[in-house]
Structure 1
Amino acid sequence: MQPTFEQLSQRYGSRYRWLVLLTVMIGSMASIMSSTIVNVAVPDLSRHFVLGQERAQWVSAGFMLAMTLSMLTTPWFLLRYGLRRTYAGAILLLLIGGIVGGFSVNYPMLLSMRVVEGLAAGILQPIPSIVVLRAFDKHEQGRAMGIFGFGVVLAPAIGPSVGGFLVELFGWRSIFFVVVPFCVVVLFMIRRLLAVNSRLMGEASALDWKGLLLASVGTIGLLNGLVHLHDGFLQSVPMIGIGLAATAGFVMYQLRTENGLMNMGLFRYPQFAAGALVAFIYGAGLFGSTYLLPVYMQMALHYAPSQAGLILLPAGVVLAFTIIIAGRLADRFPPNLLVSIGLVLLALSFGLMAIGSSATGYFTLMAWAIIGRIGLGFVLPSLSLGAMRGVETGLIAQGASIINFLRQLGGAIGVSVVGIVLEWRLAVYQGGASQEASVRAFNETFLLVALFCALAVAAAVRMRTPGE
């Protein structure tokens, strides 16, 4: 007999919502780790499968593309199957992707398992925000997001560091198996702590397959077009054109249909519209840099994978403590102010990376990474809270999914753009034949990422709830 929500609430009392948050936090840690840990292994994967930079970036971009699209389905899955079955199914999918991916015998098999992991991660990502916004009172939401963020940010901090050592000791296959113990623990917690009659369940209409198809064609067309820019502008124009047309069709269809993937009425809230724009630009800068930094450390500065991964560990520890403090501040100060401060620090961090050289010391790079992670700590708890405050309760699930979707869409495009710009600048400098030429190409790419974050500040200033 599976426990009901009423039985679990009675058994655990006021602790129950925190135990649910812990459960979804660990699952999110596993999905985020599977996203970031592979970046350290990109050079090793490129050598093993004989991949160019433009194909190697699909190891990250393919994951993020799948994650981006599946996020739109999370509200429907929660209404149709409830929190318990939705979460368990996504964790099982992530577990399968990790195990099978580690035994990949060719690049298509590897890429398909990254897509499987991305599909699972996309369903998982919006759920913690939905739980916080639905289960916690307004005065506790910042604290809850801060505690959730503390655990989640450890994943990208620990992931590259552990991944670097694993790649050196056991090869790239080992990094896929890292998610396995997390998934096993979460499945046990789901069985003990998540109710069969989740309060997130409700009347689910049919899944909007037409909208999902249009979104898929639009996103894939845009990303494929961007990737093929290295072949020449004319070769990429048809795919970019198809992507833009499908994206426009998706928006028009969502405006006319009932029970679509996106409730476009959310964009009538000024703070939500501004938060959505911040999420997109911020995602492009954040994920583009997360892909770029480990590759920069190895290709331009010739550090070992373990050293490339280790550089983010102190920054991750600082981030973990920053996010707790920022979470408490989000209950006292306007979220748009905290988001703006965080974005300025992120832009500063990438700007400093852009003026680096082959003589820049390892610990200097580490300090610059710490500045960026402090900024990230201010952004993470406040972005969803600032965008969603004042939004009707019934729209929270869709709103959280849209914010996460746009952040990941920006991230997927950011990774692609960063890969394209890096390939272009390396070609300009004769393929980065010398170390200084290679460093110069990376510096110009870091400058692009800094500009992404600076642009997001202008949108963050407008992310203000009416009456504040």
Structure 2
Amino acid sequence: MLEVKQYHVKTMLFIFSLGAFISILNQTLLFTAFPGIMRTFSVSSSTVQWLTTAYMLVNGVWIPVTAYLISRFSTRQLMLFALGSFTLGTLLSAISPSFLLLLISRLIQAIGAGIIIPLMQVVMFSIVDKDKHGSVMGIIGLTTGFAPLIGPTVAGFILSRLTWRYLFWLVFPIGVALIVATIFGMQNVGTPQQQNNPLDYRSVVYSTLGFGILLYGTGSFNQNKTLGTFFVAIGVIFIVIFIHRELQLAKPMLNFRVFKNRQFSISLVLVVLSFVTLIGPQAIIPTLIQSAMHHTALTSALVLLPGALASGLTSLIAGRLYDHVGGKILGIIGSLVVSISMVPFLFLNIHSSLIMMAACLIFKMMGNSLVMTPLTTEALNVLPERLLNHGSAMVNTLRQVGGSIGTGLLVTVQSFFDMHSAFIGARAFFSGIIIIGLARFVLAMTLKPTIQTSK
């Protein structure tokens, strides 16, 4: 591996982080704009949801392919393709004359977005000393963790003055600027190893069908449980076929042998469970505050905002702490904090204090960041460099798939109890969050201690 001093680390980290920020921001940016888009194109609420569902589906099925792409193309080539696709999709979204073209434009956006984060992790882990990996992941966690949480708030502010098209016009010049910055500031890291190794298209098909159908099934489960269960089962079957094929190939598209490393496997499970406890409450609390407690959408956004800010700051600190104490102790503390912070939500009612809810969410988000940033770092740190691209693709794929499945199950539990009361359903949901936090606590105890401080 080349020395760190041969790379413009800060420049490359800035390009990657800003690219990741705007790509993830686009997952949640449109939530607040749905009513305006429905009026513009005269579509239903279920139809407009596809702008987010399709974006996440393409993201989920594209990420597994990045392990191959990273080993096949140079860093600059891949980053230019990712930013080019994302920026083109953004432009087309801004000028779309029909809902169909807007949906297609979102798919083009998602293709680019799915590449950026795995590529960023692999490159930064390759050019930064191992005892600084936590600090780098803290910066990455600040941008990637904060972006989806701040999206609805940013959109609400813009839409109070402008139309939904300006959500894309806001992002477009940033994408163009990043393309220019990549041309002049991005350096190639390493040498592509699989230039003569063709992509196994059967793997792509199995992966796409498996993860795509599974994500669709979990997303549609609450609208139609029978159909949702059917799609989940079909998705699992294709994933099993995909895994079997990858294990037979000498050079697999996505190497599942990374799971032979016990520390990687446990760390990845902890990251997936953390993602569930991250996005789960964010999905139901706004509806609960607005529909059951009869407050405004702005009020619900303000309740969530302090937690989002705390999450970003804690990610930065947790990354630095990882370099000194390793991932085990942070995983244990973070898991315990999440469970304890959710206990007051077991007593929610129409008169519950919004300040109390915001305070508890601050601690919940801090606890999540103490787990996600260090354990993502731990998962990648324990792998040999030749498996780093596969490990990064695996972490990002399963985090999204596992988060979707876990949140879907929790919402199903909530829906079952909702027939009695919205608050009873919410209490059941938060009971599940507490149980997940306790399960993470037990699992984190089984990790081997790893202290990364250089001697």
TM-score by length of 1: 0.84
Q: Which piece of structure 1 moves more, 30-39 or 107-116?
A: 107-116
Aligned match of 1:51: 45
Q: Once the 2 structures are TM-superposed, how far is the Cα of residue 29 of structure 1 from its aligned partner?
A: 0.8
Q: Residues 207 and 238 of structure 2 are in contact (CA less than 8 Å); yes or no, is this contact kept in structure 1?
A: yes
Relative to structure 1, is the Cα distance of residues 172 and 338 closer, same or farther in structure 2, using a 3 angstrom cutoff? same
Q: Trace 1:5-154 onto structure 2 (pairs within 5 A).
A: 16-41=8-33, 49-52=43-46, 58-104=50-96, 108-154=100-146
Q: Residues 386 and 464 of structure 1 are in contact (CA less than 8 Å); yes or no, is this contact kept in structure 2?
A: no
Q: Residues 40 and 305 of structure 1 are in contact (CA less than 8 Å); yes or no, is this contact kept in structure 2?
A: no
Aligned match of 1:432: none
Distance 1:440 1:383 in 2: 33
- Pick from 440, 444, 451 the counterpart of residue 460 of structure 1: 444
Q: Once the 2 structures are TM-superposed, how far is the Cα of residue 146 of structure 1 from its aligned partner?
A: 1.9
Distance 2:439 2:409 in 1: 16
Distance 1:209 1:56 in 2: 32
SS in 2 for 1:30: helix
Distance 1:395 1:311 in 2: 41
Distance 2:347 2:51 in 1: 28
Q: Trace 1:225-374 onto structure 2 (pairs within 5 A).
A: 225-230=217-222, 233-374=225-366
Q: Trace 1:152-171 onto structure 2 (pairs within 5 A).
A: 152-171=144-163
Q: Which piece of structure 1 moves more, 94-103 or 406-415?
A: 94-103
Q: Once the 2 structures are TM-superposed, how far is the Cα of residue 253 of structure 1 from its aligned partner?
A: 1.1
Distance 1:420 1:373 in 2: 23
SS in 1 for 2:199: coil
Q: Which piece of structure 1 moves more, 64-73 or 310-319?
A: 310-319
Relative to structure 1, is the Cα distance of residues 232 and 127 closer, same or farther in structure 2, using a 3 angstrom cutoff? closer
Runs (5+) with no aligned partner, structure 2: none
Relative to structure 1, is the Cα distance of residues 390 and 157 closer, same or farther in structure 2, using a 3 angstrom cutoff? closer
Q: Once the 2 structures are TM-superposed, how far is the Cα of residue 25 of structure 1 from its aligned partner?
A: 0.7
Q: Which piece of structure 1 moves more, 105-114 or 174-183?
A: 105-114
- Does 2:425 align with 1:444? no
Distance 1:40 1:340 in 2: 36
Q: Residues 26 and 152 of structure 1 are in contact (CA less than 8 Å); yes or no, is this contact kept in structure 2?
A: no
Distance 1:303 1:228 in 2: 28
Q: Which piece of structure 1 moves more, 71-80 or 279-288?
A: 279-288
Distance 2:288 2:106 in 1: 22
Distance 1:98 1:465 in 2: 44
Q: Once the 2 structures are TM-superposed, how far is the Cα of residue 405 of structure 1 from its aligned partner?
A: 1.2
Query: After superposition, what is the alpha-carbon deviation per residue over 1:232-283, rounded to whole angstroms, capped at 9, x for unaligned?
Result: 5544454333222112111111111122222122111110111222233323
Aligned match of 2:388: 396
| Counterpart AA for 2:391 | G
| Counterpart AA for 2:67 | P
Query: After superposition, what is the alpha-carbon deviation per residue over 1:316-370, rounded to whole angstroms, capped at 9, x for unaligned?
Result: 3323332222112101113122123223333444444443222223322221221
Distance 2:34 2:54 in 1: 13
Q: Trace 1:194-209 onto structure 2 (pairs within 5 A).
A: 194-195=186-187, 197-199=188-190, 201-204=192-195, 205-209=197-201
Q: Once the 2 structures are TM-superposed, how far is the Cα of residue 157 of structure 1 from its aligned partner?
A: 4.5
Query: After superposition, what is the alpha-carbon deviation per residue over 1:410-432, rounded to whole angstroms, capped at 9, x for unaligned?
Result: 12334544555555555x24xxx
SS in 1 for 2:29: helix
Distance 2:384 2:449 in 1: 13
Distance 1:296 1:167 in 2: 23
Q: Residues 310 and 366 of structure 2 are in contact (CA less than 8 Å); yes or no, is this contact kept in structure 1?
A: yes
Q: Once the 2 structures are TM-superposed, how far is the Cα of residue 151 of structure 1 from its aligned partner?
A: 3.8
Q: Once the 2 structures are TM-superposed, how far is the Cα of residue 294 of structure 1 from its aligned partner?
A: 3.4
Runs (5+) with no aligned partner, structure 1: 1-5, 430-436
Q: Residues 25 and 148 of structure 2 are in contact (CA less than 8 Å); yes or no, is this contact kept in structure 1?
A: yes
* Residues paired across the two proteins, number: 449
Distance 1:97 1:354 in 2: 43
Aligned match of 2:377: 385
| Counterpart AA for 2:44 | V
Distance 1:276 1:69 in 2: 18
Q: Which piece of structure 1 moves more, 306-315 or 367-376?
A: 306-315
Distance 2:79 2:219 in 1: 33
SS in 2 for 1:19: helix
| Counterpart AA for 1:263 | N
| Counterpart AA for 1:444 | A
Q: Once the 2 structures are TM-superposed, how far is the Cα of residue 406 of structure 1 from its aligned partner?
A: 0.8
Relative to structure 1, is the Cα distance of residues 450 and 256 closer, same or farther in structure 2, using a 3 angstrom cutoff? same
| Counterpart AA for 1:322 | T
Distance 2:352 2:314 in 1: 26
Q: Once the 2 structures are TM-superposed, how far is the Cα of residue 108 of structure 1 from its aligned partner?
A: 4.8
Q: Once the 2 structures are TM-superposed, how far is the Cα of residue 27 of structure 1 from its aligned partner?
A: 0.6
Query: After superposition, what is the alpha-carbon deviation per residue over 1:160-208, rounded to whole angstroms, capped at 9, x for unaligned?
Result: 321222233335444344422331231222122113x432533332223
Q: Residues 290 and 296 of structure 2 are in contact (CA less than 8 Å); yes or no, is this contact kept in structure 1?
A: yes
State the Cα RMSD in Å: 3.2
SS in 1 for 2:383: coil
Relative to structure 1, is the Cα distance of residues 404 and 392 closer, same or farther in structure 2, using a 3 angstrom cutoff? same
Q: Residues 133 and 323 of structure 2 are in contact (CA less than 8 Å); yes or no, is this contact kept in structure 1?
A: yes
Relative to structure 1, is the Cα distance of residues 314 and 241 closer, same or farther in structure 2, using a 3 angstrom cutoff? closer
Q: Residues 66 and 118 of structure 1 are in contact (CA less than 8 Å); yes or no, is this contact kept in structure 2?
A: yes
Relative to structure 1, is the Cα distance of residues 108 and 413 closer, same or farther in structure 2, using a 3 angstrom cutoff? farther
Distance 2:348 2:75 in 1: 47
- Does 2:217 align with 1:217? no
| Counterpart AA for 2:153 | S
Q: Which piece of structure 1 moves more, 279-288 or 103-112?
A: 103-112
Relative to structure 1, is the Cα distance of residues 344 and 277 closer, same or farther in structure 2, using a 3 angstrom cutoff? same
Q: Once the 2 structures are TM-superposed, how far is the Cα of residue 84 of structure 1 from its aligned partner?
A: 1.0
